[in-house]
Amino acid sequence: MKRILQVILSITGITLPLFAIDVGQPAFNFKLNDDSNKTIQLSDYKGKWVVLYFFPKADTPGCTTQGKEYTKMYDKFTSSNAVVFGISTDDVEALKKFKEKYGFKHTLLSDPKGEVAKSYNVRVMFGLCSRDTILINPDSKVEKIYRGVDPGADPYKVLDYITSKKM
């Protein structure tokens, strides 16, 4: 009965998919278009820490705060062998405008159907992703999952974790 309910809810987009990736498992190797309409493939970043921060909607207060904080810390992430991607269901043009408006240094990715989000157990409701962050280690495995993050504190927690692993 539980499985049937999960399937029904998953199909309607109300809950999480049945076979989502969890900590310790290989990361889902996705291909998404970035804010300049270039295709980004996760497997191209093997050997680096990869931060996937999912956000609901471009140019809204929380999403702007989170993007600004990741931009402030961009050089620290880069020097820690990490790449940062912000992901939402917004289209490429909306992400391009959002990035340009605030001068974000990191790349934004368009997941229009929420398929990548769902593969990482990120809820997608009414076409919007929940605010979750997935950290992928240099071996391309899911290292850490942060659910319902505080947009201002998220980048600091993620960077602290990465730098603690380098010691």
Taking only the tens place, the pLDDT of each residue in 69-83 is 999 999 999 999 999
What's this model's pTM, rounded to 2 decimal places?
0.87
**pLDDT digit string, tens, across residues 138-163:** 999 999 999 999 999 999 999 999 99
The SS3 assignment for 103 reads coil
Total number of residues shown for the chain = 167
The residues assigned a catalytic role are 63
| C-alpha to C-alpha distances, 125 to 13, 24, 39, 59, 110, nearest whole angstrom | 6, 26, 25, 18, 16
pLDDT, tens digit, 9 for 90 and up, residues 106-128: 999 999 999 999 999 999 999 99
Dihedral, CA of residue 108, residue 84, residue 62 and residue 30, to nearest 10: 50
Domains of the chain: 23-165 (3.40.30.10)
